[in-house]
Structure 1
Amino acid sequence: MGSQWTKDKIYKKSVRDGYRARSAYKLIDINERFNIVRRSDNVVDLGAAPGSWLQVLRTMTEGQLLGVDLNPIVPMENVITVTGDFTAPDIQQKILELMPLVNVVVCDASPHLSGAKAYDQARVMALNEDALRFTEKLLKQGGNFVMKSFQGVDFNELVDLVKERFYSVRVIRATATRRGSTECYIIAKNFIGDADDDRKQISE
């Protein structure tokens, strides 16, 4: 592929280090700064293909990992992979059955962009809200959530929704984000949860 990004220094580093995508360094950066994932955590990765975040997560936790994406994820040891739309009820149910206890949800997903700014931003916000709603079903109380988004119309409203569900919420740019991009990450810690949900009360 003759992309301008083939000359990107971080892209070249990802090839040398054996990561499937340059986005691996974004998760490394986020975890170093915010301590999202602990050694015993079970983690679900929404929009996981090609699997670079799963590669990084394997070095961060000894817990169970699951990645889901519309595109097949090349298998890796000790990782459950699901091919399908994480917004679809049947896929969500499958994930809930496979992962009865989840400490962390990460989501680096974004829709295919058309170049029409307003249309693309609306689709990004819709996907973010879908990811947030599913995360509420997955996470135990006190769990953490990382989600990629793009600053623009309705972004502040999205952040407010996250703040209703987590005690600590930050918006940051990862160091590996390309210059000029509106890409950002919402870092949400300590999920408020539902005190009546026994599934989320399981001790670590």
Structure 2
Amino acid sequence: MTSGSKSGERGLSTRLRTAKGRSTASQKWLERQLNDPYVRAARAAGWRSRAAFKIIELDERFRIFRPAQRIVDLGAAPGGWTQVAVKRAGDRGRVVALDLLAMDPVPGATVLQGDFQDEATERAVLDAMAGPADLVLSDMAPNTTGHNATDHLRIMGLVELAADFASKVLAPGGAFVAKVFQGGVEKDLLAALKRDFAQVRHAKPPASRKDSAEMYLVAQGFRGGAGQG
């Protein structure tokens, strides 16, 4: 979904009839969901979350997906990115979705529950893919505290862990996509990524809400190989 497809949505606004029993923050969140064209479009298209449009838009810009890829989706629940990965990889692809939480099955994907930092989970992912990954996706984000510096440190910690996982499972030429916050990636991690990947870029897809601090890191052309991290 591109920004152009939202024309015609202007002027449409839904307000909840009653706010009884809801906090102000909850009320605002619900109204935003009801009036969000991406939420409505995701529902109409059968995507599990509006986040599906973020990875679709990143793919339109960076050509992340290819047919027959082996793909790992970290922090996959509720499964919007996994659904897109399955569709883009096609019948010859292999998609493994991993989350700490239980997740409903996604047709065409292997859904695993566990912590990607555990060696046993890493082995289970590699076994399910039957080989090294071509693409590692991470839309993971920690619970926010409202304190910008703390939240930035938390998400950077997650990105570092996800990047380390990617370096262990990616095949040469592979790609890594991860959520970060504005301010980008810390200098040391960025230097390591630029060493390990041919291209490292940041982007904020149109589906990412304007008031959100999130951005996405797109690293392509992995120079190592699975098992060499």
After TM superposition, the score normalised by the length of structure 2 is: 0.80
Distance in 1, Cα, partners of 2:220 & 2:49: 25
Which residue is 1:72 aligned to?
102
- Deviation string 1:65-85 (CA, Å, 9 cap, x unpaired) is 000011112102221011111
- Deviation string 1:120-164 (CA, Å, 9 cap, x unpaired) is 111101100000000001100011111111123863443222112
Aligned residues of 1:170 and 1:187 also touching (Cα < 8 A) = yes
Alignment of 1:111-150 (within 5 A): 111-150=142-181
Distance in 1, Cα, partners of 2:181 & 2:107: 32
User: Over aligned residues, Cα RMSD in angstroms?
Assistant: 1.8
Aligned residues of 2:137 and 2:178 also touching (Cα < 8 A) = yes
SS at match of 2:218: strand
SS at match of 2:98: strand
In the comparison of the two structures, how many residue pairs are matched? 197
SS at match of 2:77: coil
Matched, 1:190 2:201: no
Distance in 2, Cα, partners of 1:42 & 1:19: 21
Which residue is 2:48 aligned to?
20
Matched, 1:35 2:29: no
**Rg bigger for which structure?**
2
Aligned residues of 1:69 and 1:84 also touching (Cα < 8 A) = yes
Shift in Å at residue 114 of structure 1? 1.6
Aligned residues of 1:121 and 1:153 also touching (Cα < 8 A) = no
Distance in 2, Cα, partners of 1:159 & 1:9: 34
Which residue is 2:15 aligned to?
none
Aligned residues of 1:40 and 1:61 also touching (Cα < 8 A) = yes
Residue from 91, 96, 111 that aligns with 1:81: 111
Counterpart amino acid of 2:201? R
Which residue is 1:103 aligned to?
134
Shift in Å at residue 61 of structure 1? 0.9
SS at match of 1:14: helix
Aligned residues of 2:184 and 2:202 also touching (Cα < 8 A) = no
Name structure 2 gaps, 5 residues minimum.
Answer: 1-25
What percent of counterpart residues are identical? 34
Q: Which moved more, 1:80-89 or 1:136-145?
A: 80-89
Shift in Å at residue 172 of structure 1? 0.7
Which residue is 2:122 aligned to?
92
Change (3 A) 1:170 1:57: same
Shift in Å at residue 41 of structure 1? 0.7
Distance in 2, Cα, partners of 1:155 & 1:69: 25
Shift in Å at residue 5 of structure 1? 2.7
After TM superposition, the score normalised by the length of structure 1 is: 0.90
